[in-house]
Chains A and B, each alone.
Chain A
Amino acid sequence: MAGAILELRDVSRHFGGLKAVNGVSLSIEEGTITSLVGPNGAGKTTVFNLITGILPLSSGDIRFDGRSIAGLPPYAIARRGLGRTFQDPRIFYEMSVIDHVVAGFSLRGENPLAAILRGPRMRHETRAARDSALRMLDEVGLRRRAHEKAQDLSFGEQRFLSILRTLAGDPRIVLLDEPTVGLDRDSVHDLTRLVQRMAREQKKTVLLVEHNLDVIFDVSDQVHLLVGGSIALSGEPSEIKRHPRMIEAYLGARYAALRP
């Protein structure tokens, strides 16, 4: 399909006899926001782990930018331009806030020889990364806390920091695993805006696993409902919203039957 940046072709993952993900095919257009929804245990996070290479595929193929990434080591997949966050912020407790973001960049100074020699290019690049990191922190209101340890941030701030850390690597597609879990209303609003900015202004593709239906229907271009490891329903938010299968998946079959 033209314009598809990420394509899953009949992807399956079995754990023994359990089919955690079973024949999932989906295609994600560049620059769009796609949501993966479904009840707990539907296989959403497993799909993320398959895409990022943390888990090997049992069968099927995953193509990123037209080339297969199945079987590549996770760091190589990430380097092609695929970033992800986790359900927990998983911040680096002992690291300062700004260092988090700087560590997300891919820098010449990560080479030990370049680190020792301190050439002008390496120093310039490192300084530029710190400046960019400060600008990014400014956008989410964390600039004044740049030099504190990350463990002193609130849970919500840690969540934003974990997203910035991923964005620092300038990924083309960002996988966000339940980014609004544990956030208060204001933070959810800020996060929604951040995700929309990522797609609209920075032209990033976003794949979202989310339980907050308001957020999903607010930001998504495409929604896929995952039930029991398979895609039960796909479509635009307006189509999905009142679909009986969606209601059934979230509220149970009896409730779905009551609805017109």
Chain B
Amino acid sequence: MDYFVNLLSQVCIYVIQVATLDLLVGYTGIFSFGHAAFIGIGAYTTALLLTKLHLGFGAVLLGSMLAPMALAFAVGLPTLRLSGDYFVLGTIGLTNVTASILTNWVAVTNGPFGIYGIPDISLFGWKVVTPGQFLAVTIVVTAVVLLVKHLLISAPFGLTLQAIREDETVTVMMGKNVARMRAIAFAIAGAGAGLSGLLTAYNLRFIDPTLFDLQLVIFAWAALFVGGCASIVGNILGPLILVGFPEALRFIGLQGGAVAHVREILYGGLLIVMTIFRPQGIAGNYRIR
């Protein structure tokens, strides 16, 4: 039972990552592969503030959002000027450089050995100990993230982002400071991604740099595509399916060494079938052209 509760917490964490990525990809047309950097900075900020400075949950929560937000803003202002392919490459670089710094700045991050002994969440004297309690916290955080995202995209802020996605030059001619809006969207998504890093750190109690490499970004993109862009329902369905599908295969009676391979094949097959027959994703409102 604990296994499934844990799995559900993990799904929620992915939902946060996908929803914040969607703010960039689905709404603003920013094709970022730098998400793992923000998630990683959020997780490491959490781990360091807890194990080195022994700060409380509130301060850690704030730090885990502000640190990646600052990074996103600093990186975003210059790199968001890059067009299309170059921006994608730049953000892949961001993810790799961040993972490399986390691996090699041993004095602070403990390098490849990671950070151990991350304590339980402690809120006003209430300690989050069991997986069920952690799931409750995770669901609340995820719900808040989705609510904030909904408020943002349903307001004129979201309209301007979509205008930027559709035609940058026209949006500029409407008097919108497109460069600034894109940087703000990037920073907000970075802050949200940092929150998923916070939950990852608390969940695993141990983090190392390999958790935050390009593979995590690819997974988030895959989940975003399966669920569908510009859709909160899609943001939830994507991770649920990508995590749930391989798990469900455990129960179809496959045996022995073939299981892992068959799962990989079916998993890849699912992605191929999706791209052919439903390129906008299951619940997507926007299809990338």
Interface positions of A (Cβ within 8 A of B): 52, 54, 73-75, 78-79, 83-84, 86, 90, 92-95, 99, 102-112, 114-116, 118, 122, 126, 129, 165-166, 169
Contact = CB atoms under 8 A, between A and B. Distances in A.
B172 interface: yes
B188 interface: yes
A86 B225 CA distance: 33
B167 A169 contact: no
Contact of A75 (B157, B162, B167, B177): B177
B276 interface: no
Contacts of B184: 112
Contacts of B151: 115-116, 118
A115 B174 contact: no
A169 B172 CA distance: 12
A115 B158 contact: yes
A110 B174 contact: no
Contact of A111 (B148, B157, B165, B167): B157
Given A75-B177, A169-B175, A116 B170 contact: no
Given A75-B175, A112-B188, 7 more contacts: A75-B172, A94-B166, A95-B162, A103-B174, A109-B157, A129-B156, A169-B174
Contacts of A107: 156
Nearest to B181: A110
A209 to B, nearest CB: 15
B169 A54 contact: yes
B152 A112 contact: yes
Contacts of A111: 157
24 contacts: A54-B169, A75-B172, A75-B176, A75-B177, A78-B174, A86-B170, A90-B167, A94-B165, A94-B285, A95-B162, A99-B159, A103-B159, A105-B156, A106-B175, A108-B156, A110-B156, A110-B157, A114-B157, A115-B152, A115-B155, A115-B156, A118-B151, A122-B155, A129-B156
B259 to A, nearest CB: 42
B178 A75 contact: yes
Interface string B205-222: 000000000000000000
A90 B167 CA distance: 7
Nearest to A126: B156
A224 B176 CA distance: 31
A193 to B, nearest CB: 24
Nearest to B177: A75
A79 B177 CA distance: 10
A103 B155 CA distance: 10
A126 B155 contact: yes
A52 to B, nearest CB: 6
B163 interface: yes
Contacts of B285: 94
A99 to B, nearest CB: 6
Contact of A103 (B148, B160, B178): B160
Contacts of A115: 151-152, 155-158
Contact of A84 (B162, B173, B286): B173
B173 A103 contact: no
